[in-house]
Amino acid sequence: DTAVSQTPKYLVTQMGNDKSIKCEQNLGHDTMYWYKQDSKKFLKIMFSYNNKELIINETVPNRFSPKSPDKAHLNLHINSLELGDSAVYFCASSPGGTYGYTFGSGTRLTVV
Amino acid sequence: GQQVMQIPQYQHVQEGEDFTTYCNSSTTLSNIQWYKQRPGGHPVFLIQLVKSGEVKKQKRLTFQFGEAKKNSSLHITATQTTDVGTYFCAAPTGNQFYFGTGTSLTVIP
């Protein structure tokens, strides 16, 4: 069983569209995250979320919004997609605190 | 967020040579983590260091945390082609980990 699963694996879409990426974890972890990895492989945290608190990195445009229907899911919704949004988006989870993160396999988003 | 710089950005080695990547912070870290990302893959957690001067080993990999807890290193002895990938350190701010810039390792057979 995949611990952290993301769908879709690849997403190609036009500028201006709205899209969502889904993430599910079956590890029972309390905290989930979204990271963006650009073409230079720099991993930038976008959000962290548990059932108590959402932390948004201040540099993330408000076109990006996390949605968590329950503790095992943290979806990423993106409005009005721009060319610069093209990247690989990783979902991750952890038990919280200073434990290591378990990453999903990533979603490669290409905006044309 | 936490700023951690890694050097070098890229490293090419002949198979069998050693490899080291360094992670440096301007502030004292409570702990530091290391991850490996294979080409086309996702980051995989390797280890966490917490104590000042801590040294941990995983087979050919040796991880160190500086005495001042402002730097860390990952050393690979006698690299193999399976070591290819990007190695990241990650440091916490609050309940979020900020990743270093990464070191991409290429191993030439």
Residue with tokens 């694996």: A9
pLDDT in tens, A52-89: 688 777 789 999 999 888 889 999 999 999 999 999 99
Positive or negative, the CA dihedral A58, A71, A37, B1 is positive
Q: Coil, strand or helix: which one is A106? A: coil
Closest chain A residue to the Cα of B50, Cα to Cα = A98
Q: pLDDT averaged over chain B?
A: 94
* Greater model confidence, B2 or A79: A79
Positive or negative, the CA dihedral A5, B93, A30, A67 is negative
The answer to which of A52-56, A57-61, A100-104, B24-28 has the lowest mean pLDDT is A52-56
What's the pLDDT score for residue A24? Answer: 97
CA R_g for chain A:
13
Q: How confident is the model at residue A42 (pLDDT cuts 50, 70, 90)?
A: very high
What's the pLDDT score for residue A61? Answer: 92
Number of cross-chain residue pairs from A and B with Cβ atoms under 8 Å apart: 58
Q: Do A55 and B94 touch (CB under 8 A)?
A: yes
Asked if residue A9 lies in contact with residue A88, where contact means CB atoms within 8 angstroms, the answer is: no
